[in-house]
Structure 1
């Protein structure tokens, strides 16, 4: 069975977003460009880790290669909802990140769930590198996006806003507060 590689180099828009009410949200990465729209589902923790690792990757690119990084955008960036229809192409199992020194761009690759565990990989892109055909990920669908440092910074800011827009945490235990009530472990399961 053949796999699909959805490549956007660069996309017109690449964002993290959600569908559903807080507590029942489904998280998506969505890329649009060239008349195509691709949405892939992932977990909240994956969005959080992706934003953190992208920040680390930009810092490392600046340190090692002298890449000029944009300042964190003080103004509110892209707050538009996900483009419709939001049709899930696949569920993300692995996220790969790389910095392409030749083009000074960040490469993000979201790979469908397979036999491997959910992970985030950091690396440096090498266009001359041949992929091992025996790797199990070769038979999996993937979304590949190439972003400038400015677009990467905008993605990080939006991803953080999306993650933080959910249910507020309990001040005692840190677990999300449910609108229907919260059984806090710090109170031995009793309501306050």
Structure 2
């Protein structure tokens, strides 16, 4: 298999969609988002007869966020399968020792979300990924990712600071955007606008007086 390719659900090789980003990551960085996901998506994760699949898309230079997501979702459903997907083959190779098949796997890919057999994900989490893309690319990526969701699946896309104290994310279903969530300890904020720099790329340039979200 060529270094630039990744296996598709039909056995062919396809080029991952996207570009390599900075990959900055820290342990426990996405705890606020994960807790919200466990609550908001809990019923949908428990519903399928077969083990549901959750994707940590663009987990970064280290696999901590995928490992933590797997642990947190197991409290919701013990047999949930988490697949960490990265476009950088070196990051995938570095993550493989942390794999626990079939409950935690790592593979190379991008916004095409390569899952075996054309499986659709119950959850796709893309944290601190699209922030590094241009705003005019966001709608296309959202549509592509939502197209890889199960009928009652959830896409969670957002941005946080380096230690996860300030976080803003958008939740989308197959039909499009549903909610936007602001997560922070209020005592750490001098003013609400302190969260502005953590707005997802789809919103950050629209944070101006008189402009509705």
TM range (shorter): under 0.3
Identify the structure with the greater helix proportion: 2
Greater relative contact order structure (CA < 8 Å, 6+ sep): 1
TM-score between both structures, scaled by the size of structure 1: 0.22
TM-score between both structures, scaled by the size of structure 2: 0.20
Identify the structure with the greater strand proportion: 1
